[in-house]
Amino acid sequence: MHHIPPVRIKDIADFAGVSVGTVDRVLHNRGEVSNRTREKVLGIIHKLNYQPDILASALASKRDNKIAVLIPGGTDENPFWKYPLAGVEEGLREIVHFGISLERYYFNFTDRESFLRQSAKMLSDKPQGVILAPVFTGEAALLLDSCNELKIPVVLINANICSGSCLAFIGQDSLQSGMVAARLMHYGLGDDSDVLVVNFIRENGNQNHIIKREEGFRNYYRDISKTGDSLLRQVNIGETHGNINGIMRKAILSSPRPVKGIFVTNSRVFRVARFLENNNCGNIILIGYDLLDENKHFLKNGTIDFLISQKPREQGYKSIMALYYHLLLKKEVEKNQYLPVDIIARENLQHYSFT
Amino acid sequence: MHHIPPVRIKDIADFAGVSVGTVDRVLHNRGEVSNRTREKVLGIIHKLNYQPDILASALASKRDNKIAVLIPGGTDENPFWKYPLAGVEEGLREIVHFGISLERYYFNFTDRESFLRQSAKMLSDKPQGVILAPVFTGEAALLLDSCNELKIPVVLINANICSGSCLAFIGQDSLQSGMVAARLMHYGLGDDSDVLVVNFIRENGNQNHIIKREEGFRNYYRDISKTGDSLLRQVNIGETHGNINGIMRKAILSSPRPVKGIFVTNSRVFRVARFLENNNCGNIILIGYDLLDENKHFLKNGTIDFLISQKPREQGYKSIMALYYHLLLKKEVEKNQYLPVDIIARENLQHYSFT
DNA sequence: AAATTTTCCGTGTGCGTACACGAAAATACA
DNA sequence: TGTATTTTCGTGTACGCACACGGAAAATTT
């Protein structure tokens, strides 16, 4: 097994009987080359399967590839978004040598105006690539269109939007994750206990993944028996709603049979956990999403039975890597990158500390 | 936020009033520098916090950093080991530009002689780093010692050995994984069903993680109640043992109460699944390890309830990255890198296809 | 046919580092 | 003091690529 000497620009030049300058002009198609020689050079590049040395390339070009992340700022109220960002930064460290820099644009995830402001600011900075959390569906779609016009590749993270075209979507298969939750619920409860599905919803937000999660959950129950679906109760709560005691109590009492399990379709499961603890609700199985610190707390003390992780850190990591592969290596990247649905119990929480 | 111009060797040279050649000699301490100037240059390097440009470095020194992987060949009988290798190769693709190459040394995991042969061959090739699966405890420890003498960093993968010192251990927290299995078992069965623990064991192999898994499993059951441990039966089966029907039947029948769950402490859980299907054993919960194709099959059809993944692919990826960080970036790497304990059910199997 | 423009292409330099070579300085020896 | 030897250091080139500059050839105009 011997080292094959890699093909350099010089080799192509010699082969084609031209100079390296000409080959370079062809490679970066910046004109000033006759069609005849262009074709010839391209043919040889293809024939020799030339792969540019990205080290030398990055070293020589000194060009700054700005990547913009446009995501909600991680607040105390919703700390979720600091994890994808951490993943992005982790990936950045591995590729920062190649002349890639990061610009962060935070918006308030309850304030669409702030999203518009920040996206305008971002566009005016002319990034080479964008990582976008489409929290506001309509506005995000418009931004996507703008980026498409400007030929800026966009990676959608966490939630998807159908319209427009993006380089990649990186997130979870929400339907699947709902099914996983249902499987766990049903595995622990059996066939004849009522289950409450709790949605915390937000006006004019992107609810797509929440709907999908509930759908997956229901599908599972429907599939196990004809009457499976009838075990499910459901309640929607406004995200900004203060005290949920009343709503929860009513939802639980209105069930024909006792509620033995609760599935919360997003990360606000800790609010339900608090309710359960304060009201001595006995042995209700509680399943929800995301490893927020509060959620971890209730997972450890047993009030929450399982959390489903969206692997936010890995989402961030994969996002920046997708742009790196596209921008620097010019490689094809997978359009839909669904991350595994992680099941977290008290017992395997420990080594998930940074996920 | 402005670009700070990075410190180059030239800057250090100017600052110290010497030439770049001298600085280079200091950096790589290859002598031929007087103590006086050495001290001075070192001081300035430290003061300016010089970080070498690994791009230019790799470009200039075209040296070949050979990394050796010494693992069992992935056989049909035990395909597990192709996954860590795939992870290693995935990582390799990201760093191959830096003059890193991979040498693969496969041994037969049932034949210690082949391990000795391959490790001797590996050592004679003088690699710069080693990724080692310590399947044979004693022999692996000796090899580790040899590498320590030769100053070759070693990453232990999948299983740990206590003696000797290595750059890193990358694998799973076996005790935890046993506890996770027990949690799932107990969550589904409740407090009063007998559970059978099945160990497939191999003469003179590294059984450490198998023992730990069982220990974790037992610990969980012991912790839930004083009598919890008494629910557990146990049976050991030789790995090379052909037909397991007799042993399994005897183990199940000898239980005072009916066995409602089986925990297999390694990837050979598919053999137990086969047994269950062939003997119409009814509704026994089956939990085991690793996403082998056979195991996936039984997970899909419901005979296996949960599989615990060791994330073999990620183990491989992290292994080569640890060596990269150590050899090229000269960064500290974490000594014990425990990977998350992944719970796989039928419903979340899909997106784990490559883990 | 000369003058001008346009098209096309080669040469040269720099990115930051590694290392070989040889010169200068320091030391040793006569 | 002069020569030989060793120590110490500076210079130059290479790594593969990007890009600026300028010049020759071809095309166009006058």
Please check whether residue A223 touches B, CB under 8 A.
Answer: no
What's the rounded mean pLDDT across residues A192-214? 87
β-bridge pairing A306-309 and A342-344: antiparallel
Measured CA A321 to C1' C22 distance, in angstroms? 47
Which residue type is seen at A33? V
pLDDT reading at A1 higher than 70: no
Cα nearest neighbour of B220 on chain A = A347
Q: Are residues A137 and A227 in the same domain?
A: no
Backbone angles phi, psi at B259, to 5 degrees: -80, 120
Among A179, A187, A221, A348, pick the best mutation site for testing chain B contact (most B Cβ within 10 A): A348
Q: Are residues A229 and A291 in the same domain?
A: yes
What's the rounded mean pLDDT across residues A183-198? 89
Which residues in chain B touch residue A350, judged by CB atoms under 8 angstroms apart? 173, 176, 338
Cα nearest neighbour of B343 on chain A = A343
pLDDT category at A281 given cuts 50, 70, 90 is: confident
Q: Are residues B126 and B198 in the same domain?
A: no
Q: Are residues B249 and B320 in the same domain?
A: no
Sign of the four-CA dihedral A143, A148, A152, A155? positive
Report the domain count for chain B: 3
Please check whether residue B351 touches A, CB under 8 A.
Answer: yes
Quickly count: other Cβ atoms within 10 Å of residue B298's Cβ: 23
Across the interface, whether the CB atoms of B55 and A53 are under 8 A apart is answered no
Please check whether residue B97 touches A, CB under 8 A.
Answer: yes
Residue A144 domain flag: yes
| Domain range enclosing A279 | 174-309
Q: Are residues B38 and B153 in the same domain?
A: no
Measured CA B25 to C1' D8 distance, in angstroms? 11
Across the interface, whether the CB atoms of B351 and A340 are under 8 A apart is answered yes
Residue with tokens 């003390």: A301
Q: Are residues B178 and B297 in the same domain?
A: yes
Q: Are residues A304 and A181 in the same domain?
A: yes
What burial class does residue B150 get, using C-beta atoms within 10 Å of its C-beta: 0-12 exposed, 13-18 middle, 19+ buried? exposed
What's the rounded mean pLDDT across residues A95-102? 89
Which residues in chain A touch residue B341, judged by CB atoms under 8 angstroms apart? 347-348, 351
Q: Half-sphere exposure of A319 toward its Cβ, with a 13 Å CA cutoff?
A: 35
DSSP A188: H
Residue A27 domain flag: yes
- Here the CATH number for the domain that contains residue B297 is 3.40.50.2300
For residues A131 and A72, the answer to whether their CB atoms sit within 8 Å is: no
Q: Are residues B197 and B285 in the same domain?
A: yes
Residue B152 domain flag: yes
β-bridge pairing B306-309 and B342-344: antiparallel
Residue B347 domain flag: no
Which residues in chain A touch residue B91, judged by CB atoms under 8 angstroms apart? none
Q: Are residues A273 and A257 in the same domain?
A: yes
pLDDT given for residue A355 in this prediction: 53
Q: Are residues A85 and A158 in the same domain?
A: yes
Question: How many angstroms separate the CA atoms of A81 and A85, rounded?
Answer: 7
What is the residue-averaged pLDDT of chain A?
89
- Here the CATH number for the domain that contains residue A33 is 1.10.260.40
Measured CA A31 to C1' D30 distance, in angstroms? 29
Q: In 3D, which of B3, B339, B2 has the Cα closest to residue B177? A: B339
Q: Are residues A294 and A219 in the same domain?
A: yes
pLDDT given for residue B11 in this prediction: 92
Among B343, B350, B352, B354, pick the best mutation site for testing chain A contact (most A Cβ within 10 A): B343
pLDDT given for residue A145 in this prediction: 94
Share of chain A above pLDDT 90, in %: 60
Residue A123 domain flag: yes
- Which residues does chain B have with pLDDT short of 70? 1-4, 77, 162-164, 228, 353-355
Model confidence pLDDT, tens digit, residues A222-244: 988 767 677 788 889 887 778 88
> Tokens in use for B225?
């109640």
Residue B228 domain flag: yes
Which residues in chain A touch residue B347, judged by CB atoms under 8 angstroms apart? 176, 179-180, 182-183, 220, 341
Measured CA A318 to C1' D17 distance, in angstroms? 28
Instruction: Report how far apart, in Å, the C-alpha atoms of A228 and of each of A176, A217, B8, B348 are.
Output: 18, 11, 68, 20
Residue A354 domain flag: no
pLDDT given for residue A353 in this prediction: 62
Cα nearest neighbour of A340 on chain B = B351
Q: Which nt has its C1' nearest the CA of A10? A: D16
Residue with tokens 């203060």: A242
Residue B353 domain flag: no
For residues B158 and B177, the answer to whether their CB atoms sit within 8 Å is: no
A189-224 burial, b at 16+ Cβ within 10 Å, e below that, comes to beeebbbbbbbbeeeebbbebbebbbebbbebbeee
Please check whether residue B320 touches A, CB under 8 A.
Answer: no
Q: Are residues B155 and B273 in the same domain?
A: no
Among B1, B3, B4, B55, pick the best mutation site for testing chain A contact (most A Cβ within 10 A): B55
Quickly count: other Cβ atoms within 10 Å of residue B302's Cβ: 11
